[in-house]
Structures are given as C-alpha cells and as structure tokens.
Structure 1
Amino acid sequence: MSRVIVWNEGNWTTEPVAYRQEGEGLVVEALKGSDYWQKTMYGFEHDNGHALLAPWKENEAIEISFELKGFTELYDQAGIMLWQGRTSWIKAGIEINDGVPHIGAVVTDTYSDWSLSPVPEWMGELVTIRASRSQDAVIIRARTQNHPWRTIRVARFLNEGGQQAGPFLCAPTRAGLEVAFTRWAGTAPDEDIHIDPPVSD
C-alpha cells in the first residue's frame, strides 16, 4: 500500500519565499528567520516556519523525501511536520548544528524539546523521514538511499482526529536556503517498533 500525495493537496502554514515544481518534485526557498520553537531554554516562540500540511489518515504512515544538498548554515533544516496545532506539533528531519548535519526531532506540547544525532555521512544523499502512529505515540524513522532505517524517536502523539502532516523547512539564520523535496507519500503503517518498514521510492 502506497499513495503519492500531490503537492497541491497541502496548505502552507506560512508561505515560503518561493516554490516551484521540477518534474515530480517541489523546490522550496525558506524565508530568513523562519523557525518552529516554543519557549524552552530560549524563551522565544517561533511559529513562522514553512510546513505544507494535508490531513493525516489514521491508517497510514507518512514519508517525506528530500535531497540533503545546500545545507550549510547553522540550523538550516528540513523534514516532516506532524501537526495538531500551533503549540502541539513534532518536526523531525535534518538540521545543521556546529557545521554538521544532524538527524533529530523537536517535540512540542506548549514547550519544545530537541533531540539530535550527527549524520555527516548522509550529506549529499536522498533522505527519507517516516512517521507512523502506534496507540498514543508516533514512531519516527529515517534513512537514505545508502543507509538503512534508523529509529529516531518514539514520542507521545495522541490520535484525537484532525492531525495533519507534510514536508517542512526552516532557515533561522540566513536567506537563500532551497530544499528539493522529491516525494510525499502515505504508506502502510509500521507493524512493530522492532520491525523495519519496507523501502519504497
């Protein structure tokens, strides 16, 4: 089971500087200063990142693929957004930290937290981020075309209806970040946290 979600099915939380379709993909330019974060440690509240969201069906996982190219500056980031509201969401993907790409997630329920792990070997590759619900939680995994699935996070994410999901990007520190998203798909949900889902492109 797999269905392609077309780009025009989604609506932007905040319009990016520009976006255009190239073949089956979508190239998006982020606004300088765009970000998602709520309160923790820094005290600020940022909700002007760019997420392209569509309804998330209960019986499917969501996968987002993008090219890890052109990420050069602190906090350049892209991946998948799981959305319940402006103070309840999860973003997961690649973010530049101290000059190195990291795979990570920010889980927010009024306050944000941040977990991350360096993946310098992923630079230049096609990254896929996957989210699959399980009871009151979501399982987030990531891979590239040359590296197998890694479980990134298991986080609380109540299935209360009305959830949305889709690709996101942010450029907190600079102008000119462009991200080429290549795939947005609904797929069969995870069978178990200890069983890797199939690879499909």
Structure 2
Amino acid sequence: MEATFFWLNEPKAWSGDARRLALRTDGATDFWRKTFYGFERDSGHAFLTPVEGDFTASVTVSGRYEELYDQAGLMLRLDAANWIKCGIEFTDRLMHFSVVVTRGISDWSVIPLHGVSPEAPLSVRLTRHDDAVRVQFRFGDTPWQMARLCPFPTASAFVGVTACSPEREGFEAVFSDFEVGPPIARALHD
C-alpha cells in the first residue's frame, strides 16, 4: 500500500511527489518555538506521511542556499509543539548541518560544513528506536555521520521533507529518493 502524504503549509510553487519533489518557498516560512528568539513560527513547508513505532526515513536534498536561514531536510512531527527538523541550514555565510529538537521549546545545534559546495546534494537519515531519535547525514557515498541522538516520544507521528526561508521567499529545494522503512540497526558505531 502506498503511503499517503499531505502538506503542512503548502507552498505556492511545487511539483512532483514523495520520490522527487521540487519546491520554491513562500516568504517568512519557518518552524521555531520560543527559545532564544522568543517567537513561535509554524509556517514552514512540510510534505508529511504518518509513521508508527520504530522506523528509518531518508532523503537526498539539494538547494540554492543563498540567504540567512535558508534550510531544507527532514522533519519528524507530533504537533506544533513537538518536532525535529534536520538538514542543511545556511547561516554565517556557510552551509551547516542543522538539527532543531522541539519539545515545547526549540533548541538548535549546527555542524559547519567548510569546503562543501552549496550545490552538493546531501543525504539525511532519521531513525526512531523506542523513545530515541538518531539523526545522520552524508555527502555522496561517504559514511553516515551522526549529528544528534535525542529523546523523543514514541507516539504516532508524521515524517517527511521540509523547507523554510525565514528571511525571504524563493528558496529552491529539490528532494529525491525519500524512503521510510524498518529502522537501521541500533549500533551507533559501525
């Protein structure tokens, strides 16, 4: 049976489906709750499907990262107050692998990606094992690198791709090879 997808904040310009999706962001789009900046935003674009129990979701993403906070990657979402977004985010004139975990309030962690071309496609993988989520990334066929291991509820949720551009409209992102399947092995070190 094929997965059912829906838009949370559908962008005006998009084409494709879960296997290959291209979009152009609307203006002032973001997901954030309270911490540091004090504001709450739930206006980012997300193309989501329901998930239960343990799983691994992955996607390859490329984008035209040019303006502060342009971002694209994966999202795991329970509701507006409980979610994770992870992928590339453009900040300080550099691409970063970014993870935001939100449990009522948002935190933010980044890994600077020095020497990585803004056009380089990135693969993102998110795995839920019981009440823990592991976030990983890689470029090309390089080994998966862990970016985050965090607690997260085991409740029914939604997973899919997300893109935001808080400072402008028109950020272009392309997602390919999105998959959801059984969780990868629990071993953290290959």
With structure 1 as the length reference, what TM-score do the two structures score? Answer: 0.87
Aligned mate of 1:156, from 151, 156, 176: 151
SS state of the match for residue 122, structure 1?
Answer: coil
SS state of the match for residue 115, structure 2?
Answer: helix
- Partners of 1:70 and 1:15 lie apart in 2 by 19
The alpha-carbon distance between structure 1 residues 26 and 190, as it changes in their structure 2 partners (threshold 3 A), is same
Structure 1 position 46 matched with structure 2 position 16: no
Aligned mate of 2:80, from 73, 79, 86: 86
Partner of 1:199: none
Aligned length: 188
Deviates more, 1:168-177 or 1:145-154: 145-154
What does 1:93-172 align with in structure 2 at a 5 Å threshold? Answer: 93-123=87-117, 124-160=119-155, 162-172=156-166
Letter in 2 for 1:174: R
SS state of the match for residue 96, structure 1?
Answer: strand
Structure 2 regions of 5+ residues with no counterpart? none
| Aligned-pair CA distance for 1:27 | 0.7
Partner of 1:29: 24
- Partners of 1:39 and 1:20 lie apart in 2 by 32
CA contact (8 A) 1:122 1:144 kept: no
Structure 1 regions of 5+ residues with no counterpart? 197-201
CA contact (8 A) 1:139 1:193 kept: no
| Aligned-pair CA distance for 1:146 | 4.7
CA contact (8 A) 2:70 2:171 kept: yes
The alpha-carbon distance between structure 1 residues 88 and 62, as it changes in their structure 2 partners (threshold 3 A), is same
Structure 1 position 77 matched with structure 2 position 65: no
Q: CA RMSD in A?
A: 1.8
Structure 1 position 190 matched with structure 2 position 178: no
| Aligned-pair CA distance for 1:133 | 1.1
What is the percentage of aligned positions where both structures have the same residue? 34
- Deviation readout 1:130-169 (Å, 9 max, x if unpaired): 1111221101101111532110101111102x21100000
CA contact (8 A) 2:72 2:88 kept: yes
SS state of the match for residue 147, structure 1?
Answer: coil
- Partners of 1:170 and 1:106 lie apart in 2 by 13
- Partners of 1:120 and 1:51 lie apart in 2 by 27
- Partners of 1:149 and 1:118 lie apart in 2 by 16
- Deviation readout 1:81-101 (Å, 9 max, x if unpaired): 000100000001100011100
| Aligned-pair CA distance for 1:57 | 3.7
Deviates more, 1:43-52 or 1:117-126: 117-126
Deviates more, 1:13-22 or 1:45-54: 13-22
| Aligned-pair CA distance for 1:190 | 2.2
